Chain A
């Protein structure tokens, strides 16, 4: 076993919890990979935008997908179970995956998110994403006509 496989990193969440991970798993996050390649790795690596609960989940996914003994279909099975989470958690995970630049996790999460959003009304989307409507009544009326009349 070469030393690079055993090299570990310490990741620190925004709420100061530390997680030890294999470097070979962690570099799936391009943000971390860049730090490693530029030899800017501090000890621990602070992740200001990711809390411990979310970081633990990201690490779970990261390590599963780094396992060379698992087949693609086994990884897919894991993914299917992994995304069975409340919508709020999915959104937080998406933000974390974006911050860490973890492409594979992003794809799985965004795809799940989009599938759940199928046939949602505008109001439902606003509610689940916690977005304020900033249209005036007139603007919204005009926008609402264009879509179904032209683009459906």
Chain B
């Protein structure tokens, strides 16, 4: 796998960090997740391929354990607000002095500097501050955050993973690690560069929700079917739009011009009426195999049964019969090999990991009895 031999220490947090580390694990890195004492389970459920160690970083001896782990690791991933690691005496100057090859990845909401950098926040706040949220949402409604996908995952976890791999690549030439300031506000903005770059174009001329790509166009939106399901229409180019009209059983000469924005609200109603007359399956019969850019809106459950996904193996099933997406993208020579085992229990591998990192049995015993670490091996074997 692409990241074979790379070792990562992930300090446990919510969504973005776990996703970033999961991507690294999927592509071959050995990921150790450091959980807090008392944490019962992984809220984000993104523990695939990782091992878990419970360590009290607030204790100086706990911080010392982490420093020893980082001496022998390639990547440290920390998800805290500005200043937290420094307060624990675990800032980059300290850790990189001990290991100049360490890639110190800091994945936060607002970044390592700036007036908001010490504040709490969640995806919607980062997306709001990035400018991107202001462009998303239907006409006449408030801006709408698409779950926590854009800031937590795209602008956060995925962007940070990109930075980590770039730093690993750079290190093959320089021999040195570096600090990465990956934050969700800037990540979401950079991801959405297209919006700034096309701001002066006609793409965003109308108020929010009335443009082609944000819900205004009848040929770029979703429609409800007779059985309460949905179809997605994305027929922008004239030749695809023709096929859409044909598939709907309409006649183009009886309709206004495709790009006549004044007619869009009326056209949406017209299309909606037509879509409402047939079921999703019937529409799929009509449009599958056609270049009309009409596709079913599949549910999370339906995807596994769809021909296209079955043929490609796009979804994987774990030993526990849980379905999730196969890692992307596909690298044909060194594909990701995601673990099929269940996610680790909190503290399941504490002792095993410390032994691997050169801690003696006496040290481990002492750390355990002094409550610097926790080992939950017993629970795991139940």
- Answer yes or no: do A and B interact: no
- CB within 8 Å of B: which residues of A? none
